[in-house]
Amino acid sequence: MSKVSLAKGTRDFGAEEMRKRKFIFNGIEQVFQLYGFHAIETPALENIETLTGKYGDEGDQLLFKILDSGDFWGNIEQEYGANKEIGKLNSKNIASKIASRGLRYDLTVPFARYVSMNRHLVKLPFRRYQMQPVWRADRPQKGRYREFWQCDADIIGSNSLLCEADLMGIFHRSFEKLGIKNFVIHLNSRKILEGVAEVLNASEKFGDLTIALDKYDKIGIQGVKTELQQRGFDDEQIEKISHFLFCESLNIKTLEKWKTLLSDSKIGLTGVSELGSLLSYLEASGFNNQIVLDGTLARGLSYYTGCIFEVKVPDSGIGSIAAGGRYDNLTGIFGMPGISGVGISFGADRIYDLMEAQNLFPKSADGNCKVLFCGMDENAISYCIPMAEKLRNAQIACKIYPEASKLKKQLDYANAEKIPYAAIIGEQEMKDKQLTIKDLETGKQETLYLEDLINKLKL
Amino acid sequence: MSKVSLAKGTRDFGAEEMRKRKFIFNGIEQVFQLYGFHAIETPALENIETLTGKYGDEGDQLLFKILDSGDFWGNIEQEYGANKEIGKLNSKNIASKIASRGLRYDLTVPFARYVSMNRHLVKLPFRRYQMQPVWRADRPQKGRYREFWQCDADIIGSNSLLCEADLMGIFHRSFEKLGIKNFVIHLNSRKILEGVAEVLNASEKFGDLTIALDKYDKIGIQGVKTELQQRGFDDEQIEKISHFLFCESLNIKTLEKWKTLLSDSKIGLTGVSELGSLLSYLEASGFNNQIVLDGTLARGLSYYTGCIFEVKVPDSGIGSIAAGGRYDNLTGIFGMPGISGVGISFGADRIYDLMEAQNLFPKSADGNCKVLFCGMDENAISYCIPMAEKLRNAQIACKIYPEASKLKKQLDYANAEKIPYAAIIGEQEMKDKQLTIKDLETGKQETLYLEDLINKLKL
């Protein structure tokens, strides 16, 4: 028997982790639903054509591919003809012949596929959320897994900045619900970045600009300047860019400053004006605080075309815990052009780590089993059964220790399971039709009737 | 651009299906929790050694294997030496070299792996549930998918029949919660079946007996008799077996009948006595109805050793919607002998089909978005925002139509989304600080203050 192990980069989630994960996922899901989002789910297995070419060369490398069943080698032997061309085989051309399916790499491409395959069903504007695992054949390291969960929400089919405003509301309500108070939403617009490139007369270097800015968090302002130099920006341009590298509260004054800086760029001014609309919606919703306009925010991924955002918790040592942005063309790759939208993604693993580090999980994440019935003999176990069912009728979770073990063993079990109360049943309790309740935190005991227990626990 | 499609045997779940599926899964999950079960989750990807050899030859064939990344062909070329032994390659020996991981085939083997890897964490008796997709490279057909959900609950580490009784309670509460009233729980014991083989002097033919009985549902009593004949049972034996092929309410009288029939078999009598304990627990819990003792129930899978059960809905045209049984040795395959347990599994897809056919999904599965705000111009949209947020503060889900489109278009949208109320905002409403609510089912309209709307919808 070989030593059993997990596949590298994957995790089991035990009882406690699951409760905490459910606390996060359920909390966010409730907020999505408050804003009228619909859940959808797509399969883990996708045809390989759906996945390849969507994530760049690096992404293609990281796709997990599924070996076809049946006689895949027979087909290759036939094609490469009785060993004559076997020398031409390599991992890449074989893979393309023996793996016609792959594992979901993210939730965006499957969503785009879903929308383009279900145009008749999807009424625009469509709000969907999706919380499912994705797989990447990356090198596993601390905080990076080969199987991990994404938690995405998108609104497609409307250009209104109200969509962005709703997503900011979702950030606020979700993090408040989870007890994460000191988050900051960093906001920028790809149009503003395009405007910056334009006022530098460097529109053709827009890509270089975003790549350099994207490193700001890691390498600081001097690092970005060096990077820009290496990418061919001259001193004057770099000097100008540095004016944009500020991060200030989102308000009318800040927007005015941007407006002045970008006065020579039409697209830049459009970006500022859109942020103005967003700001006015946010003032109406009351969610205009904890938002900064951040000139260094670039969001590497190239498909964003409008507002972009990232949520951080200062001094947490944890990167962004949520992010998103507006894009122009979700489903073009699947033959359905013109669907724009805006979406966000919560970083479930980082949120978990942050909440663990800041001790934010509530006591309820200890579990919802409230009572362990401890019978001292076989009769006592039978005596417990109708009482346990009455608790369950009142929606109070409980269980009966199934063996007449020593009391200490049963109480140890309750403690290990973090069950707050033990209901101890001996001769006297059965005679009096009562039960003795021990509060396992305080050690206090009282003998009472079942109805009293139900009333006590329902409070 | 090639025509986009789903991988064969997989499904997307759209908004409505997801709400219905969540209704089922959440309902069952709440019942699991009432009985003190813990959720765990295991990864989709497992090392291939964890999976192979656990499901018989047929199961091994149906495992989805993941192609290793990196230069898998280079390794093979090296091993099979510059084409000299390429002729020896076939799909099977290649697969074993280029696919070191596979996709989860069920939830039982990963659970066994989890328990054997986490003995220090798992306090026995341990109650766990797990609701995750599994993958099988089966030929897809109606109702059979390559990616489908299992929904399992197991209690390990106790031989008490109270565990079986709790699982029967879970069946009752779950199906009642889902509105499935006319279910019948079929119950038997592998020990009784062993006893039957023993009183026939055919213990060595126990496997043949269970295989034949397992076909009863499909081929009827005559079919089973023919099958038994073909498997070498003589007329006298077949005549005797037919005494056991009854299906009667579980009660003392039925058990007495079995006791008489099995009086010559020790293991058979143990089986009857265990069912007696189970019956007495069920009488205490009140869940002793809708249960039949069914001599034809055999549950093909060979690892069951005690009570076995299957839940059916007569005349539904749908097979069993849940099943389970007791086993002796969950984790032996992973080097941890002696862990017995009992488990059940809900057939989520069949339950879905049954509820759809019997129209059992409640209106709430239509969605929880209660109000669509319809603004007649840009000002009206801004006017709606704080009202929408106040509804959300009161946990009432709503959304604002993000464009100032024509009212008809907005109402069509609300209808398509099955949103019950439209809040229409025009000049007059803004002036009076009110809103006009249209009930989209009845067509009735009324103009009211936001507080009145909140009170109306909170009821």
B86-115 pLDDT, tens per residue?
Answer: 778 888 888 888 999 999 999 999 999 999
A contacts of B403 (beta carbons < 8 Å) = 158, 160
Q: What are phi and psi of B300, to 5 degrees?
A: -40, -45
Query: Is the model's pLDDT at B39 over the cut of 90?
Result: yes
A114 touching B, CB under 8 A? Answer: yes
Q: Give chain B's mean pLDDT.
A: 94
Query: Is the model's pLDDT at B28 over the cut of 80?
Result: yes
- Scanning A49-88 for CB atoms below 8 A from B yields 49-50, 61-62, 64-67, 69-74, 83, 86-87
A280 touching B, CB under 8 A? Answer: yes
- What pLDDT is attached to residue B272? 97
With CB atoms and an 8 Å threshold, state whether A43 touches B10.
yes
With CB atoms and an 8 Å threshold, state whether B6 touches A117.
yes
With CB atoms and an 8 Å threshold, state whether A123 touches B42.
no
With CB atoms and an 8 Å threshold, state whether B116 touches A4.
yes
The DSSP output letter for B33 is H
With CB atoms and an 8 Å threshold, state whether A403 touches B158.
yes
- What pLDDT is attached to residue B158? 96
Query: Is the model's pLDDT at B163 over the cut of 80?
Result: yes
Query: Is the model's pLDDT at A2 over the cut of 60?
Result: no
Query: Is the model's pLDDT at A435 over the cut of 70?
Result: yes
Q: How far is A342 from chain B (nearest CA, A)?
A: 13
Q: For A83, which of B83, B125, B381 is closest by C-beta distance?
A: B83
B contacts of A35 (beta carbons < 8 Å) = 392, 397, 399
CA-to-CA distance for A353 and A313, rounded, in angstroms? Answer: 12
pLDDT per residue as tens digits for the range B105-145: 999 999 999 999 999 889 999 999 999 999 999 999 888 99
For residue A125, cis peptide bond before it (omega within 30 degrees of 0) = yes
- What pLDDT is attached to residue B37? 98
- What pLDDT is attached to residue A246? 82
Stretch A10-35: mean pLDDT: 97
pLDDT per residue as tens digits for the range A161-176: 999 999 999 999 999 9
- What pLDDT is attached to residue A112? 95
- Scanning B310-339 for CB atoms below 8 A from A yields 333-335
Which one of A1, A4, A273 makes the best mutation probe of the B interface by having the most chain B beta carbons within 10 Å?
A4
Stretch A256-273: mean pLDDT: 96
Q: For B67, which of A67, A83, A392 is closest by C-beta distance?
A: A67
Confidence of residue A73 (pLDDT cuts 50, 70, 90): confident
Other CB atoms within 10 Å distance of the CB of residue A93: 13
- Does this complex have an ipTM over 0.85? yes
Which one of A385, A405, A411, A417 makes the best mutation probe of the B interface by having the most chain B beta carbons within 10 Å?
A385
Query: Is the model's pLDDT at B459 over the cut of 80?
Result: no
Query: Is the model's pLDDT at B83 over the cut of 70?
Result: no
Q: Going by DSSP bridges, is the β-strand pair A369-375/A397-400 parallel, antiparallel, or unpaired?
A: parallel
Lowest-confidence segment of A367-376, B88-97, B224-233 by average pLDDT: B88-97
B5 touching A, CB under 8 A? Answer: yes
- What pLDDT is attached to residue A364? 84
Q: Give chain A's mean pLDDT.
A: 94
- Tell me, rounded to whole angstroms, the distance of Cα B65 from its chain centroid: 24
Stretch B270-292: mean pLDDT: 97
Stretch A277-305: mean pLDDT: 92
Q: Which token pair is B256? A: 């007495």
- What pLDDT is attached to residue B71? 85
Which contacts of A115-118 are long-range, i.e. CB under 8 A and separated by 24 or more positions? A115/A156, A115/A330, A115/A331, A115/A336, A115/A339, A116/A331, A116/A334, A116/A335, A116/A336, A116/B4, A117/A334, A117/B4, A117/B5, A117/B6, A117/B12, A118/B12, A118/B14
Q: Which token pair is B405? A: 């489109």
pLDDT per residue as tens digits for the range B333-366: 899 998 999 999 999 999 999 999 999 999 888 8
pLDDT per residue as tens digits for the range B238-257: 999 888 888 899 999 999 99
Continuous H helices in A367-449 = 378-393, 407-416, 427-432
Give the percent of chain A with pLDDT over 70: 98
A385 touching B, CB under 8 A? Answer: yes
CA-to-CA distance for A149 and A349, rounded, in angstroms? Answer: 8
A contacts of B98 (beta carbons < 8 Å) = 67
CA-to-CA distance for B192 and B255, rounded, in angstroms? Answer: 11
With CB atoms and an 8 Å threshold, state whether A91 touches B99.
no
B378 touching A, CB under 8 A? Answer: no
Which one of A364, A399, A411, A413 makes the best mutation probe of the B interface by having the most chain B beta carbons within 10 Å?
A399
Q: Are B217 and B186 in contact (CB under 8 A)?
A: no
With CB atoms and an 8 Å threshold, state whether B49 touches A2.
yes
Q: How far is B67 from chain A (nearest CA, A)?
A: 5
Q: Which token pair is B31? A: 């019942």
Q: For A146, which of B45, B70, B113 is closest by C-beta distance?
A: B45
Stretch A368-389: mean pLDDT: 96
Query: Is the model's pLDDT at A46 over the cut of 60?
Result: yes
With CB atoms and an 8 Å threshold, state whether A284 touches B4.
no
CA-to-CA distance for A333 and A331, rounded, in angstroms? Answer: 5
